[in-house]
Every structure is written in structure tokens, then in C-alpha cells.
Amino acid sequence: MTTAIVERTITAFLDGDDSLEINNIIHSTAGAARFGYTGPLVGGTTVYSWSAAALIEALGNQWLDQGWVEFQLRKPVYPEELITTRVSPLPPSGGKLSKTEGGSPTVEFTMTKHNGDIAVRGTAGLGIAGFNSEITDASDRSPVPQPDDRPFITRALAPLGEDLPAMSIDLSATESTRYAAELARDPGPLWRGPGARVHPGWIAQRANALLAHTWRYTAIHASSQIQHLAPVQPDQRLLVSGRLASGYERKGHEYAVIDLTISAEDGRDLVRMRQPTIYQVAAR
């Protein structure tokens, strides 16, 4: 772990087609305009993925073995905006941080836009975070195929307090490397070759992927709490299971809290996560 401040800068880009044909139209120019935004919103997990290299430099590779991160998305990010990640060390006793077993060192990080607005603010550290025990597990982890017809999720239909149908993913090394290179724009050696890891940004995306396995939606990622329990490696079948733990309304938006677990093909839990997501966006 380094005690120095770590910074990385990237020019934001749209992480998919700018089209109303995509699954989540908030990430298109025309779709975002329907809700009063001035441009397409870059996916929240893609924005988070741009912080991974700085977090790993600050905390070391062991953060991917057993480490945690929690962050809030505070401002939308649009294509062509300059985003600077800044990771700063903090004392283990920092009162505003998630407590970890053994008092593991923690850092705070911000992702700041060129106009000075903080788009993302979070903390991260080694060990097991206090929030890990609050994340609930699905009672049924049996994967099911994606249905041919996926309804649009609404407040009336959202299965709050219930399991989401689980899904299995055969993640190849080629696809894992492509994600790191093209979406995370992360050239680091950790994502390539023998013993390669799966990028944290791809891991964070599994909450929306699990929701999209059953439902269509227009959604905005609000925040995440992610606990890495063991290395996630490609070329295996991963199981993603979870549930809509709860829901609430704020400023006209309808939120669902997604709790999920990513498991290895041998049954070991690799990652646990909680992600509040706006699944019905209020017009601005």
C-alpha cells in the first residue's frame, strides 16, 4: 500500500451505441433528453471502472483478493468530459469510513469533472467491510435462462423483498480482456495472460446485468458497496444471484436496492455487493 496521493485522468466516452435501441435509453442522447438531461449519461459502473487503476496502485493487488469499496455517484458524467480520479490515504480510525475487521488501512477517492464538480466520491480498503454482513443472500441460486419477453419494470411490478432469477455467465479470457481494454481503458497487466483477473468495473456491472436478465428498464446507478472475497478469474462459469432487498422513493425517482453475490463454478462466493439503483427515472 502506498502512502502517496495517486491520480489518473481520462476523457469520458459513451460506453455503447448512441441509440434508442439499447437496453437503457438513459445512455443515449435522445433517451436522456426525454428525462431532461443535456446529453447521454455515461454508465455509472463504467465511470467507476476508470478509478480501478488508481485504487490498485494505492492499495495493492491484494485489494482484489479481499478488499472493499463503497461509492456514491453524485453528478452525471457526459461524453468528452475530463475526469480525474484522486486517491488519498486516510488513517484507519477515520470516523466516516466503513469499519473493517482488523482495522485495515483505508483510502478515500474522488472522481472530479473538469468544471470542478465531484462526480463520484467513495472510500476503499483491505479486509472485510462492516457493510458485508448487511448484504442479504438469495435463497434460490439456481440459474435460469433469460426469458424471450422481458417486461418493463415498474413500481407495481418490482418484486421488492424477493429473489431475482439467477444467471450464469461463461466469461472467457478474451471477453474479460476486451472489457478492460475497451471500456475500462485500463492497460494494466493484471487483466491479461496467465492468472489474469476480471476487472472490478465488469464485476460492478453485474447488478444491472442481473436486473436486465429478467426486466427491461431505464435506470441510473446511484451507489455501490462491493466486497471482494476472493480473486475473480475468467475462463470459468460464474453464477450471479441476488434479490431486490428493498425499495424507496426520493425526489420522484423510484429506487430498488439490489443485493447480489458472484460465485465461482466450485460454489465459492467471490464477491458480495449492494447497489441502490433508480429503476424509474423522474423527469427533470
Q: What is the residue-averaged pLDDT of the chain?
A: 92
Tell me the per-residue pLDDT of 72-103, one tens digit each, with 9 for 90 and over: 999 999 999 999 999 999 876 554 545 555 44
pLDDT of residue 217: 87
Render 97-129 in DSSP notation, one character per residue. SPPBTT---EEEEEEEETTS-EEEEEEEEES-B
CB 58 within 8 A of CB 2: yes
CA 41/CA 77 separation, integer angstroms: 6
Compute how many other C-beta atoms are within 10 angstroms of the C-beta atom of residue 190.
17
Q: Global pTM?
A: 0.93
Q: Which of 213, 143, 190, 199 is nearest to 171 (CA)?
A: 199
CATH code of the domain occupying 6-129+138-280:
3.10.129.10
pLDDT of residue 246: 94
Tell me the per-residue pLDDT of 113-152, one tens digit each, with 9 for 90 and over: 999 999 999 999 999 999 999 999 999 999 999 999 999 9
Tell me the per-residue pLDDT of 233-252, one tens digit each, with 9 for 90 and over: 999 999 999 999 999 998 88
Lowest mean pLDDT among 51-55, 154-158, 210-214: 154-158
In sequence order, what are the residues at sequence separation of 6 or more whose Cβ sits closer than 8 angstroms to the Cβ of residue 156? none
Question: Could you state, in order of their start, the residue ranges of all structural domains in the chain?
Answer: 6-129+138-280
pLDDT of residue 95: 45
CB 189 within 8 A of CB 238: no
